[in-house]
Structure 1
Amino acid sequence: MRGKVVMVTGAASGLGAACVELLLKQGATVVGLDRQSAPPPPRGSWIPLDLADVSAIGPAVRRAVEQHGRLDGLVNAAGVMDTRPFMQISPADFDKIFSVNVRAAFFVLQAAAEHMAHTGGGSAVLFSSTGGRVGRPLAAHYAASKAAMISLVKSTSVALADVGVRVNCVSPGLVETPMLQDIRRRRAAQGAPSADSVRHDWESRIPLGRLGSPSEVAEVVAFLVSDAASYVTGEDIGVHGGLETS
């Protein structure tokens, strides 16, 4: 990864922060983007950005390229999650999920791909979820947004192949992040015995018997960004401990 400039959205916490940490270890220059403030990476920069404001995406990507001279990779880890029964999902709930998980991801990829094409190509990794591949009765709108990510990868990997930009996605399962901890608390508030009981139920359904760690997802992301995956495009890779096979 030495000499490569990689932009990571949702870089302040969770899976995005784990990707930043590993990419830095592997030698990349990292541009972190997030609506939360954070110190800039030791080798790279930080750009505040609320992805819900799509008009700010293009200028933010241009700023990253102006700062570092090129763009070789994109990791779009930013996303929002909501858990509630299907009949209780309002238009506002639906629009909030899709504005970040789909609309923003689409235009981040579009802006980044334009710059990567100018510097000889690159690699983009989007985030889907096991929720985009199997049913989620308590998060139907979230699951639909993640299914859209898989479709977007299939289309854009073909659309951008002739300019040397590879596009893939990862689909994490139950990975221990602040977002997952919040989901456990909300499920308890919605009727589960406790947040701990929710975790135990999840772990009982995972063949490997445990939740994943952000670093385990970051390893797959870093592979897809790197030249080691130079012949991989249009793929959706599950990182879920066998959850979908149980």
Structure 2
Amino acid sequence: MMNNRKLEGKVAFVTGGAQGIGRAITLRLASEGANIAIADLNLDAAQSVAKEVEDLGSKAYPLQVDVRNKEVIIDSVNKVIEEFGVIDILVNNAGVGIFNPIFDIDEKEFDLQYEVNVKGLFFVMQTVAKHMVEMNSGRIINLASQAGRRGESMALSYCMSKAAVISMTQSAALALAPHKINVNAVAPGVVDTPFWVEVDKKFAKLLDLPVGEHKRRTVESIPLGRIEQPEDVANVVAFLASSDSNYMTGQTLNVDGGNVLS
């Protein structure tokens, strides 16, 4: 962990902040001095990560949040403001990924990815941004994906949802720029988390491959020659959360080892 403390005294609200990429982001921002509201569907995991945040010298506030429920979002944001007084940084990380061939995508799968990755992300952003407008400052970082940059034959609904994140980031950046709120996104590639273990199992079934083979081939194709770690994503999020990115807004930064060049 770096210890520059560039976010000393800031308050970050991280959705999906207790697992995988979200946990790495939570801990990285805490190592920079930020106090963290850890919003996650799994409250036990959020409470566990809260202890890690406190070990880094920052305050933590774990909450159980389902981003599909607008009332829960509004209530949670109000609770965080009551606890800390402000929300300086929003990291919209909560998301789901489901992979199927085009003719096997059903309405339930389509709706879930839309509700979490698009609708949930938007209403979290909208709710927190209303508070940031009052402060006339803020940082919003949305988690997109390399899947939002290009089509994938087995991931139409997921690609759709992440492309929407990139589009929302651009529009929100323009809408909120007059209020000195920077809105940017990060597009990770193949990240070494339990999620990708499940993705590999699904593709093994879809493509009739041994478990582990799809992941091996995918990693082999990455120009930088290694699988991405959650900390690789967290490092870029920390940059976007800091004053180092003051003159950036509406951008989606590819953090994918060179998979997508744009």
Greater alpha carbon shift after TM alignment, 144-153 vs 32-41: 32-41
* 3-state DSSP of counterpart to 1:171: strand
1:7 aligned to 2:6? no
Unaligned runs of 5+ in 1: none
Letter in 1 for 2:13: M
1:103 aligned to 2:119? yes
- TM-score norm. by structure 1 comes to 0.97
Q: What aligned pairs does 1:31-180 form with structure 2 within 5 A after superposition?
A: 31-37=37-43, 38-39=46-47, 40=50, 41-42=53-54, 43-180=59-196
Deviation, structure 1 residue 240? 0.4
CA distance in 1 between counterparts of 2:85 and 2:242 reads 19
* 3-state DSSP of counterpart to 1:190: helix
CA distance in 1 between counterparts of 2:145 and 2:211 reads 21
* 3-state DSSP of counterpart to 2:186: strand
CA distance in 2 between counterparts of 1:81 and 1:54 reads 21
Deviation, structure 1 residue 188? 1.1
What's the % identity of the aligned pairs? 36
Residue 221 of structure 1 is matched in structure 2 by 237
Residue 4 of structure 2 is matched in structure 1 by none
Residues 104-124 of structure 1: CA deviation (Å, up to 9, x unaligned): 000000011111222231100
CA distance in 1 between counterparts of 2:104 and 2:81 reads 43
Residues 72-103 of structure 1: CA deviation (Å, up to 9, x unaligned): 00001110000110110011110010000000
Deviation, structure 1 residue 200? 1.4
Residue 191 of structure 1 is matched in structure 2 by 207
CA distance in 2 between counterparts of 1:146 and 1:124 reads 16
Unaligned runs of 5+ in 2: 1-6
CA distance in 1 between counterparts of 2:237 and 2:119 reads 21
- TM-score norm. by structure 2 comes to 0.91
Letter in 2 for 1:127: L
Greater alpha carbon shift after TM alignment, 113-122 vs 130-139: 113-122
Letter in 2 for 1:22: R
* 3-state DSSP of counterpart to 2:212: helix
CA distance in 2 between counterparts of 1:194 and 1:79 reads 27
* 3-state DSSP of counterpart to 1:51: coil
Residue 23 of structure 2 is matched in structure 1 by 17
Structure 1 stretches of 4+ moved >6 Å: none
Deviation, structure 1 residue 199? 1.4
CA distance in 1 between counterparts of 2:37 and 2:185 reads 19
Contact 1:123 1:166 in 2 (8 A): yes
How many positions carry a matched residue from both structures? 245
* 3-state DSSP of counterpart to 1:175: coil
CA distance in 2 between counterparts of 1:172 and 1:194 reads 25
CA distance in 2 between counterparts of 1:164 and 1:61 reads 20
Residue 28 of structure 1 is matched in structure 2 by 34
CA distance in 1 between counterparts of 2:107 and 2:215 reads 29
Q: What is the root-mean-square deviation in Å for CA atoms of aligned residues?
A: 1.0
Letter in 2 for 1:35: L
Letter in 2 for 1:234: G
